[in-house]
Amino acid sequence: MIWAPVIPSSWIAASPSDLIEDEYSVTPEACWDEDAIALYHARGDYYFSTAVSFDAAATHIGFSVERKSGRTLEAFDPFIWRHDKEWSEWLVFSLPYSPADDKFSLAKLKEMARHAAGAAEDFVKGH
C-alpha cells in the first residue's frame, strides 16, 4: 500500500534463495523478530529493500539501496541513516503518529516513498 505502487517496474521481486544466500532476513520469523514488513527487489547487482514498521507512538518507513559488492546509499534527506538494533543500515522516515492516530497521514508516507524510489533510481544510474 505504501511501497508497492512507487517501485519502478525495472525492479523485480528478489529471489528468496538469492536473499538467503546474501544473508537477508526473509523468513516469517525474521519479520516477526524485526517488527517490520519488508519487501526486497533486485535489478542487476543491486537490491532495493523497503519496509514499514509502526508502534503506539510512531510509524516508520525505511529503505536501503545497495550493490551486492557493498556500496550503499547512506544519505537522503529527510530520511535518517539508522544502524542500530531496530534498523540495520536503513534510511528511515518517521511520523510521530501511529496509524490509529487522527493526525496520521498515509499521503505523507506515500509521498516520502515516492521520493525514496526516485533516490534508488538515481543511485543505480550514478554507479
pTM of the model: 0.86
Residue ranges per structural domain of the chain: 4-125
- Distances in Å between the Cα of 16 and the Cα atoms of 25, 83, 99, 100 are 10, 23, 29, 32
pLDDT value, residue 69 = 80
| Digit-coded pLDDT (tens) for 70-99 | 888 999 999 999 988 888 889 999 999 999
- Distances in Å between the Cα of 42 and the Cα atoms of 68, 69, 84 are 10, 14, 24
Sign of the torsion angle spanned by Cα atoms 75, 80, 82, 87: negative
Please name the amino acid found at residue 108. K
Confidence at 59, pLDDT banded by 50, 70, 90: very high
